[in-house]
Structure 1
């Protein structure tokens, strides 16, 4: 028996498809919602999901909130914009979770922009642990880019689908959604430092990694765009960190206890 787990904030466009996908292999669904103002909660409850309301604590902390409410040891965690493929459903059903020696299973993830599957820039195969034994492991308790800290995971050679962005405009809006600002605040609180060259060098390195080493050049315009977006995000992160170091007025106007 598996518990499906999803964290949400205003996911009315995605939540029905996500829950219906999980119900193919899960006996219960738990939604941890951070005060949605749309009808995410109502839609989830209409499909039988248990909804827990929790103001956002950061990625890993939030994804662990629902564990105290789960009836099953095994948890399948999806983001609201992710779906199981038919192949993945079959693979999960074929695993004997009562006898396995593994504490978690990693899935390949197909990342999409619109209806376009992006196979370059490190976007595929993007292995990530999504099914895990909650008595043995859980998500790392960090506020950004959390992952399941499994000791003996196994890869399942099947895919889940991630509808990452509806279009290229959303991809370039990512830095504007304050991902870079959050990262800069976290780095500043940890005492990390930047110099005048840091924004440029980190931005350039991000572009080269995505476009050259992860073969973004094979992806045409989409590959170039993903590489450029990564570069912009990296540039802004270190530019903001440098700003915190150099400008006391900016520091005065920031609340470093409210990163989220």
Structure 2
């Protein structure tokens, strides 16, 4: 059993509504709180500096790149990575506190519970949304595909599940969810084009969004979350429709330019 020190890393851009809650949930736990900001134009910087944490500004090159930059700037070997709209429950705080005192694994996972328009979503495939967010940075880095990043551990790394939830204060309105879906689909379609991925209209543009809704609403019991469960499932399918239709359109446009 080994005692460890902990760096909490958070990337931000215009997070004045969320960042104080996030930092306050970990401030008494962390040996360092590091915020890497993409030159926010709101009060994010002022709030962070007022809380006395370490604040760095760095040009945003992608979610994965920005999070790995934050990882490289951190002072301690063990990293707890949060998004600005997340916060620890008291139970998860205590679990991580125990890890600091007696660290037996290379990485730790825990469940994430999402608040959508003020309602906690417990179905739709959104819970338990298990995340690996606490790890030895010598054993793992951010990977995946923008904008959907995840920590990739080296082969043979040991992991353990912690009690307690990570609270995710996601979308305050349906309109905000729709705007984010459009923005993320643009990033994902550009990534797909870069990797030369192809799209089938029937399979990807038509059937995939429909199947996504059916899976989330019926098989993953989204209907138990009431009206907002229905909205989440619809917009999940819509997000896939946007992504694949944009990939298809961009490929057609690129082909027409070559002829």
TM-score by structure 1 length? 0.90
Q: Please list every run of 5 or more consecutive structure 2 residues that lacks an aligned counterpart in the other structure.
A: none
Q: CA deviation at 1:143?
A: 2.8
Tell me how far apart the structure 2 counterparts of residues 250 and 83 of structure 1 sit (CA, whole Å): 48
Moved more, 56-65 or 78-87: 56-65
Give the number of the structure whose residues are more often strand, by fraction: 2
Aligned to 1:132: 135
**Residue from 59, 67, 87 that aligns with 2:71:** 67
Tell me how far apart the structure 1 counterparts of residues 257 and 159 of structure 2 sit (CA, whole Å): 42
- Closer/same/farther in 2, CA of residues 88 and 200 from structure 1, 3 Å limit: same
Aligned to 2:209: 203
Over aligned residues, Cα RMSD in angstroms? Answer: 1.9
Q: Is the 8 A contact 2:90 2:164 kept in 1?
A: no
Tell me how far apart the structure 1 counterparts of residues 162 and 256 of structure 2 sit (CA, whole Å): 47
Tell me how far apart the structure 1 counterparts of residues 189 and 224 of structure 2 sit (CA, whole Å): 31
Aligned to 1:81: 85
The question of 1:181 aligning with 2:186 is answered yes
Q: CA deviation at 1:157?
A: 2.1
SS state at 2:250 partner: helix
Q: Is the 8 A contact 1:24 1:89 kept in 2?
A: no
Tell me how far apart the structure 1 counterparts of residues 71 and 257 of structure 2 sit (CA, whole Å): 37
Aligned to 1:22: 26
Tell me how far apart the structure 2 counterparts of residues 57 and 98 of structure 1 sit (CA, whole Å): 36
Q: CA deviation at 1:108?
A: 0.9
- Closer/same/farther in 2, CA of residues 99 and 249 from structure 1, 3 Å limit: closer
Q: CA deviation at 1:249?
A: 9.1
TM-score by structure 2 length? 0.90
The question of 1:171 aligning with 2:174 is answered no
- Closer/same/farther in 2, CA of residues 203 and 28 from structure 1, 3 Å limit: same
Tell me how far apart the structure 1 counterparts of residues 74 and 184 of structure 2 sit (CA, whole Å): 30
**Residue from 229, 232, 252 that aligns with 2:235:** 229
Tell me how far apart the structure 2 counterparts of residues 136 and 196 of structure 1 sit (CA, whole Å): 40
- Closer/same/farther in 2, CA of residues 209 and 238 from structure 1, 3 Å limit: same
Aligned to 1:241: 247
Aligned to 1:255: none
**Residue from 2, 12, 20 that aligns with 2:16:** 12
The question of 1:42 aligning with 2:42 is answered no
**Residue from 196, 199, 203 that aligns with 1:194:** 199
Tell me how far apart the structure 1 counterparts of residues 168 and 35 of structure 2 sit (CA, whole Å): 18
Tell me how far apart the structure 1 counterparts of residues 92 and 102 of structure 2 sit (CA, whole Å): 19
Equivalent pairs counted in the alignment come to 250
Q: Is the 8 A contact 2:146 2:187 kept in 1?
A: no
Write the deviation string for residues 138-187 of structure 1: whole angstroms up to 9, x where unpaired. 211643211111332211121111001112232233223x2112111111
